[in-house]
A and B are shown apart, each in its own frame.
Chain A
Amino acid sequence: MTRRAPLTLDDRPVPLEWKSALMLTVLTVAGLGMFAWPLFVAAPSPSGLGDASPFIFVALLPLLIFLVLAQISEKGIDAKALAILGVLSAINAALRPLGAGTGGIETVFFLLILAGRVFGPGFGFVLGCTSMFASALLTAGVGPWMPFQMLASAWIGMGAGFLPNRLFGRWVRGKAEVALLVVYGIVVAYLFGAIMNLWFWPFVTGPSMGADAQLAYIPGGPLLENLTRFAWFTLITSTAVWDTGRAVANTVLIVLVGAPVLAAFRRTVRRAVFAPDIEFVQP
């Protein structure tokens, strides 16, 4: 039996051409800055803006995400890709409340990882955005945290799309693929927890707490000092329960249903045939 070669980038439902890739890079750098600003920013000056910068980011980040999405859809997107994105966003939105509140077991990410793997980085990026947005509208609620969750899960979906198809000269399929995705799932579970904590940290502990609070954020403090404080904050408050719960959930779900879900996605790709239109030419 011959194994079909995996889809090339051109066949993918949400293609990323160089302009989209450029804007994604800009968004990624800016987004990292907007998550990690507490570590780099000088102490707020009394010049009127004060510590309003996190609130400015809450307004600017959605705009940047919208710009990238507008560029990605600039040439129009196939209706099949739209329909699959919509359905998968609905499933993700339905999965989200299943896990919420039960010891950090988060059920959102495994489907995002599997979909990003099969449908490609562009699709994974958009799916991360739309499923967080849809679930915010349906169940979880819209809030200032939403753009940041959207970006973080979009990165997770996009990263899954960039995982290699060939490793050491062999196709990554079957058990090797599930193993690769499990490792990726564990890594992103901890990274997601850390990065959302980093966003949340100055709000919860706050500059008003003063420098004598050992886990609080010091505005304009030295990078290493703040980094140590943050590491202890995230270790004590969430790593043991929330992040580990998320990593375990990702692992168990990918091991249990990874192979059949990947197969179902690949079957959908074959049925939908995301390829350029067929043209008939005179012989």
Chain B
Amino acid sequence: MTSVVKRFFMPRSLHPGAWWGWAIGCAVVASRTVNPILLGLLIAICCVTVQVRRTSAPWAMAFRMYLYLACFIIVLRVGFRVLFSAAGPTVVLRLPVVTIPGLPSVRLLGPVSAEALVGAGGSALQLAAMVVAVGAANALANPKRLLAAVPGALYEWGAVVVIAISVFPQLAESLVRVGRARQLRAETGKGAHLIRNVAMPVLSDALDRSLILAGAMDSRGYGRSAPVSPATRRATSALLILGSLAVCVGAYGLLDTGVTPVWAGASMVAVGVVVAVAGLKLSGARAHRTRYRPDPMAAPEWVVLGSGILACVGMVVVSIAQPLVAYPPTQPLGVPPVSVGALLAVLVLLVPAALAPSPQRWPSGSVTVTADHAPDRQPLTLRGAPR
């Protein structure tokens, strides 16, 4: 029994899909409410989870940027509200009305009411919570492992993105080399010369290197596809085309709620998604993958994913059963109501912070060595090395 528990909590990085599933769950929960208390709780949960479960990888450090972006969205949205129209019963600030000459129907600024501010703040907080959730997924999931989990149908395009991410640091190195060559030639040109003498050599260098890389890839079997029978190929294309058509028609049906019932559109979308996923699956047969370094979907992954799904379902139920909790009215002003069900639906998302195994942490006082050519490998730790 203890060995099962020990194995569950063994420090390791989870399958990136689990974290993305959890984060999408957070975003769906946010999309179903504008209650500031619930949204604030959701943002706090995302922050806590990131703080507890992130590594020190560069992508994990970018979470702060998403928080800044969320703040910017709130300021922008409330600012637009004040600029365009914020009239209401409880006026808190009187601003002069500005009209644009020649356009009397457009009036800017004017009185600012508390109701308008609360309403704009609630919907801004909704968008901000979604951004924070996506930022949390970015911080918690390793993007390179996510690319390794790309379905076989998109194998080529996953390879392209991997090349792009690996080549990215080489561009800086190429820039340094061109700069050194210019120094040796004692070139001092500025402005437009800089583009001709620096940018163009870097570009040509990158293009030449890409052909060398292609040769290397060809000789190692990248970009090769397994033989597929023409019948399979035809079936794949048919599934892909039918799936995308069904999704489009279904989405149109969902929008056009006046004529078609919602269930018709939704079921059409669902059928389209199923057909399309079948097409992707069939199309993936041509890509052969390595069986080394698998990313398992084990119990901890299912716990993380399950908390996201549970919260989604809970919040959808709450938004239908208790619309006053999910979408509290802004008039009259007051503390937005909360219910036990709504709180539980949001608090389920806190489970991964407690139950997901912690990522590998390296003890202080040891030296961590990361090979430059393989930054995605686990860093090598030398214990007891001098500080």
Residue positions of A touching B, CB distance < 8 A: 19, 22-23, 26-27, 29-30, 33-34, 37, 40-42, 44-45, 47-49, 52-53, 55-57, 60, 63-64, 66-71, 73-80, 82-91, 93-94, 126, 129-131, 133-134, 137-138, 141-144, 203-206, 208-210, 212-216, 232, 256-257, 260-261, 264-265, 267-268, 271-272
Contacts and interface: CB of A to CB of B under 8 A. Distances in A.
A149 B3 CA distance: 48
Contacts of B280: 66-67, 70
Contact of B153 (A70, A208, A265): A70
A52 B120 contact: no
Nearest to A22: B241
Contact of B165 (A30, A80, A138): A138
A228 to B, nearest CB: 9
A87 B240 contact: no
A141 B217 contact: no
Contacts of B244: 23, 26-27, 30, 64, 67-68
B168 A138 contact: yes
A67 to B, nearest CB: 5
B272 to A, nearest CB: 9
A91 B123 contact: no
Interface residues of B, number: 98
B342 interface: no
A94 B224 CA distance: 28
Contacts of B225: 75-76
- Chief secondary structure at chain B's binding surface: helix
Interface string B231-264: 0010011001101110110011011111001100
Contacts of A261: 200, 203
Given A26-B248, A76-B156, A130-B164, A63 B273 contact: yes
Nearest to B143: A137
B62 interface: yes
Given A53-B255, A87-B164, A144-B134, A126 B157 contact: yes
Nearest to B107: A214
B262 A49 contact: yes
B257 A49 contact: yes
Interface string B199-233: 11001101111110110011000111100000001
Given A60-B251, A144-B130, A130 B160 contact: yes
Interface stretch (B7-15, B77-85, B362-370): B77-85
Nearest to A87: B210
A147 B250 CA distance: 19
Interface of B: 27-28, 31-32, 59, 62, 65-66, 69, 76-77, 80-81, 84-85, 87, 103, 105-107, 116, 119-120, 122-123, 127, 130-131, 134-135, 137-138, 143, 153-157, 159-168, 170-171, 192, 195-196, 199-200, 203-204, 206-211, 213-214, 217-218, 222-225, 233, 236-237, 240-241, 243-245, 247-248, 251-252, 254-258, 261-262, 269, 273, 276, 279-280, 283, 286, 320
Contacts of A90: 163-165, 167-168, 170-171, 206
Contacts of B166: 86
7 contacts: A33-B252, A48-B320, A76-B224, A89-B164, A94-B168, A134-B164, A141-B66
Contact of B269 (A60, A68, A75, A268): A60
Nearest to B269: A60
Contacts of A130: 157, 160-161, 164
Nearest to B236: A74
A70 B286 CA distance: 11
B211 A80 contact: yes
Contact of B163 (A48, A87, A265): A87
B207 A66 contact: no
Given A67-B244, A71-B240, A86-B160, A49 B254 contact: yes
A70 B150 CA distance: 12
Nearest to A253: B195
A210 B120 CA distance: 11
B113 to A, nearest CB: 11
A89 B203 contact: no
Contacts of B214: 78-80, 82-84, 272
Nearest to B65: A141
A87 B209 contact: yes
Given A26-B248, A141-B66, A141-B69, A48 B123 contact: no
Given A63-B247, A82-B214, A44 B167 contact: no
Contacts of A208: 119-120, 122-123
A19 B239 CA distance: 12
B85 A210 contact: yes
A82 B222 contact: yes
A82 B161 contact: no
A76 B286 contact: yes
Contacts of B80: 204-205
B217 A83 contact: yes
Contact of B256 (A42, A73, A86): A42
Nearest to B327: A50
